Amino acid sequence: MDFEVKSLMRTSPHTEIIAARYADQAGIKFTQYPPDLLVKRYLGKLMSPAEFSGKTILEIGAGCSDYTTVFLSNGCEKYYANDLIPQRLEASRKNDSRYVALPGNFLEVALPEPVDIVFACLTMMFVIPMLDDFIVRIRDSLKPGGVFISMDANYLCPLSIYRRFADRKPNPARLFSPHRYAAAFRSHGFDVESLVPFTAPAPIATGNWLLGTTFWLKVRKK
Ligand SMILES: C[S@@+](CC[C@H](N)C(=O)[O-])C[C@H]1O[C@@H](n2cnc3c(N)ncnc32)[C@H](O)[C@@H]1O
């Protein structure tokens, strides 16, 4: 394992599975998903990108994130990009004065200021064994009234379970219930505003927990 990665990560067996997944640095390549399609097929199921205007945003698992461009082009005030794997952040780094890279484990990295929005895409499903620690850190990272937004695989959908086990790389994703996930945020002082299953190219799957391969959660800190 790369020395830099090892020194930045909390030494838990589960975090080591995450680092092992990305140990092949040569395999880290970033190709931007077209932002207009990202909004149309994914984000638009939850909110308008105009809601990012003037907001301070922290993204967990921001390495190779397609959303960085969406936040910056919709007028966010500041964007903090956190990822465990520094090389993944480098691969998608943007040359913009509002962009601040925060490499390291989210549970340990120093955060410059409380933010309006914490965002995580396909990342929380990798940290389910540490979910309570993550929720507490997310709550502490937000201003009062701030929101946390995540998109992850919906393992109530058989296709997502199949995909999870068809993936032969070291895989930190754990099967979990979206409803119990939302309840965990409630128990840590959040109001749940949206919990929506969907499949990006199939509008008919929106709202259907057996057909939606992914789901959005939006919660607000009380
Ligand atoms: C499946 S990738 C998703 C990346 C990106 N958000 C996207 O949608 O393509 C999960 C990301 O979470 C990061 N990650 C996992 N555990 C983390 C932690 N404890 N702190 C910060 N980042 C973490 C991984 O390094 C990886 O870049």
111 pLDDT exceeds 90?
yes
**pLDDT, tens only, 62-98:** 999 999 999 999 999 999 999 999 999 999 999 999 9
- Name every protein residue with a CB atom under 6 angstroms from any ligand 1 atom: 18, 22, 60-61, 63-65, 82-85, 88, 105-107, 121-123, 126-127
Task: Give residue 123 CA to ligand 1 midpoint distance, Å.
Answer: 5
**pLDDT, tens only, 131-178:** 999 999 999 999 999 999 999 999 999 999 999 999 999 999 999 999
pTM above 0.85, yes or no: yes
* Token output for 36: 């207009």
Q: At what angle do helices 131-141 and 178-187 cross, to 10 degrees?
A: 50
Q: Provide the pLDDT for residue 24.
A: 85
For ligand 1, atom 8, which residue shows the shortest CA distance? 121
Q: Which residues contact 60 (CB under 8 A, 6 or more apart)?
A: 82, 83, 106, 118, 119, 120, 123, 124, 134, 138
Model confidence at 11, pLDDT cuts 50, 70, 90, reads low
**pLDDT, tens only, 167-222:** 999 999 999 999 999 999 999 999 999 999 999 989 999 999 999 999 999 999 99
* Token output for 59: 């993204």
Substitution candidate for ligand 1 out of 123, 130, 131, 160 with most atoms within 8 A of CB? 123
Contact 92, 29 (CB under 8 A): no
Please give the radius of gyration of the chain, using alpha carbons only, rounded to the nearest integer: 16
Domains of the chain, earliest start first: 6-221 (3.40.50.150)
Q: Which atom of ligand 1 is nearest to the CA of 22?
A: 25
Q: Provide the pLDDT for residue 6.
A: 46
Contact 189, 136 (CB under 8 A): no
For ligand 1, atom 12, which residue shows the shortest CA distance? 61
Substitution candidate for ligand 1 out of 14, 18, 24 with most atoms within 8 A of CB? 18
Report phi then psi at 96, rounded to 5. -150, 135
